[in-house]
Structure 1
């Protein structure tokens, strides 16, 4: 293996992960110059990315959940350099649900995830750019709204630690008796929908909120958003929501879902609504979400479901 320089940006909640510590030592023994930085507060990731670029690092690795991945990807997206002039991006999934990693086929074991980064060339991938009432955000996986977003936001941190992704299902079941549709209008090229929805997914990736497969056909290198709207339902609400939470029974979703694929989508609502941007809840009355093609380069297996077929 050539003498490469990596910088691993670790979510502070995962500093006690012994498997990761051992994996870091193993990669160093293989010849990788791998340094670790730990995030404790807002702004840490941006500082560490800037530092890594100044140090000539080849690859920056997000070690954490979907939020950590988005935070690191966002700091790269803010840079003025083109994607091919920036360090490549890798992921070691250490979060509660790891929705992006699950859909992308990134191994859970830290050593396997780091080995994948070492063995697979980085590929250009898209990011979502979100304007929320004039404020700007970036998202690597899925912008989601509705019932699933409320479940994700309301799930207790202690419950997540004990149950992992199952915590979202437990919280969701407890909410089944109080599902209120959210009224909004969605507009995209060739698509105009207005009404009440119980779930909304705008994907770069395919799933969010602990396994809700809202955008089952999304890929992250086509320059397009996959938009899914699940309207308010008059019957069989519990079974449909159960399918959403468990990420299965896609046939149930297909019967009610409104879908489109477009380079951008606008969402307007009379009252502020919340979108979950990879764990970051953002509330606004107007959202414009654009797909920024090939904004970063990421290490993924060439057979990943999130990549377009060759």
Structure 2
């Protein structure tokens, strides 16, 4: 029987991680032919994935944070082959926030994460496909805009290194006194919203920016985008904070946000708008985002909260609107 062939594409920041080295050695001892490639600059991940495909590798593992996962998944998505003909995708979470891994309950311990890839067969999962004037972009987790995006963009790299995910909280608190709403029109199948917003999430996954669960009901295999628009809360900040403290974030979103599940969504803004795609900022006045169903096959844990129930997965995707605002 041929040994499985894996390729770990490791973010250069984690190249000296002793736990990763031990986990890789343990997999090799169990008969997995596992090679490691370390990224150093932009374009490395794409080159390494192409090399892995040419070498006939069975599984490509993204070793890093949400940005590394998105970069590897994007390279797979660019290919002309069907998902079944491409290597499966695994995740070794080594980032600061690990938002996708946290929502998917993928362990951050390297040995446990790699063991999960070996034990759990891959499942087809969706990706976000975003069209902007500068070209096509992809994301595995979530596109976010507004307050959360500014926090992510402005969080100091040194602070992230010292505090981890807490760095986003510190930066967020510092910005609370200067939240500036942005105006946009957000529309899709049977959904229309226009006004000033302070946060926007287009989710394949559920959270970004160190735990901001903007799309708490999102599934990564339902063929749908989860859309959440949090409007300007002028005059409602006190009530919103009380709702967060007493009812939790999910209940607060239900109360104040416009939410929908759509196959595609368009965003138009009179001023340039920054969207954060798994760590990659993209700026435009107009975006079109589509769900690309089953674009890659990914190893996920049993009972992963981001996967639909089997019966639901067989249902033809459609538009289901939770709430609208105008």
Q: Give, in whole Å, the separation in 2 of the partners of 1:131 and 1:88.
A: 25
Report what 2:155 is aligned to.
Answer: 155
Q: Give, in whole Å, the separation in 2 of the partners of 1:146 and 1:200.
A: 6
Q: Give, in whole Å, the separation in 2 of the partners of 1:223 and 1:243.
A: 31
Helix, strand or coil: the match of 2:256?
coil
Report what 2:174 is aligned to.
Answer: 174
Report what 1:251 is aligned to.
Answer: 251
Helix, strand or coil: the match of 2:21?
helix
Q: Give, in whole Å, the separation in 1 of the partners of 2:136 and 2:265.
A: 15
Report what 2:317 is aligned to.
Answer: none
User: May I ask how many residue pairs the two structures share in their alignment?
Assistant: 308
Q: Give, in whole Å, the separation in 2 of the partners of 1:114 and 1:200.
A: 33
Shift of 1:235: 3.1
Asked if 2 retains the 8 angstrom alpha-carbon contact of 1:149 and 1:275, the reply is: yes
Q: Give, in whole Å, the separation in 2 of the partners of 1:136 and 1:302.
A: 33
From the superposition, tell whether residues 241 and 61 of structure 1 become closer, same or farther in structure 2 (CA, over 3 Å): farther
Report what 2:279 is aligned to.
Answer: 279
CA-based RMSD of the aligned residues comes to: 1.7
Asked if 2 retains the 8 angstrom alpha-carbon contact of 1:240 and 1:253, the reply is: no
Asked if 2 retains the 8 angstrom alpha-carbon contact of 1:6 and 1:32, the reply is: yes
Report what 2:193 is aligned to.
Answer: 193
Segments of 5+ residues of structure 2 without an aligned counterpart are: 311-326
Which range moves more in the overlay, 118-127 or 12-21? 12-21
Report what 1:8 is aligned to.
Answer: 8
From the superposition, tell whether residues 31 and 156 of structure 1 become closer, same or farther in structure 2 (CA, over 3 Å): same
**For 1:54-65, what aligned pairs fall within 5 Å after superposition?**
54-65=54-65
Report what 2:113 is aligned to.
Answer: 113
Asked if 1 retains the 8 angstrom alpha-carbon contact of 2:243 and 2:251, the reply is: no
From the superposition, tell whether residues 283 and 27 of structure 1 become closer, same or farther in structure 2 (CA, over 3 Å): same
Does residue 220 (structure 1) correspond to residue 220 (structure 2)? The answer is yes
Shift of 1:134: 4.6
Asked if 2 retains the 8 angstrom alpha-carbon contact of 1:88 and 1:299, the reply is: yes
Does residue 98 (structure 1) correspond to residue 98 (structure 2)? The answer is yes
Report what 2:68 is aligned to.
Answer: 68
Report what 2:43 is aligned to.
Answer: 43
Asked if 2 retains the 8 angstrom alpha-carbon contact of 1:2 and 1:31, the reply is: no
Shift of 1:302: 3.0
Helix, strand or coil: the match of 1:175?
helix
| 1:54-112 deviations in Å (ceiling 9; x for gaps) | 11100000000000000000000001100000000000000000000000010010000
Helix, strand or coil: the match of 1:213?
coil
| 1:235-256 deviations in Å (ceiling 9; x for gaps) | 3537847988xxx532122110
Report what 2:322 is aligned to.
Answer: none
Report what 1:141 is aligned to.
Answer: 141
From the superposition, tell whether residues 242 and 77 of structure 1 become closer, same or farther in structure 2 (CA, over 3 Å): farther
| 1:33-64 deviations in Å (ceiling 9; x for gaps) | 00000011111011100100111100000000
Q: Give, in whole Å, the separation in 2 of the partners of 1:151 and 1:6.
A: 36
Q: Give, in whole Å, the separation in 2 of the partners of 1:137 and 1:252.
A: 31
Report what 1:184 is aligned to.
Answer: 184
Segments of 5+ residues of structure 1 without an aligned counterpart are: none
Asked if 1 retains the 8 angstrom alpha-carbon contact of 2:130 and 2:136, the reply is: yes
From the superposition, tell whether residues 242 and 274 of structure 1 become closer, same or farther in structure 2 (CA, over 3 Å): farther
From the superposition, tell whether residues 239 and 120 of structure 1 become closer, same or farther in structure 2 (CA, over 3 Å): farther
TM-score by length of 1: 0.96
From the superposition, tell whether residues 3 and 155 of structure 1 become closer, same or farther in structure 2 (CA, over 3 Å): same
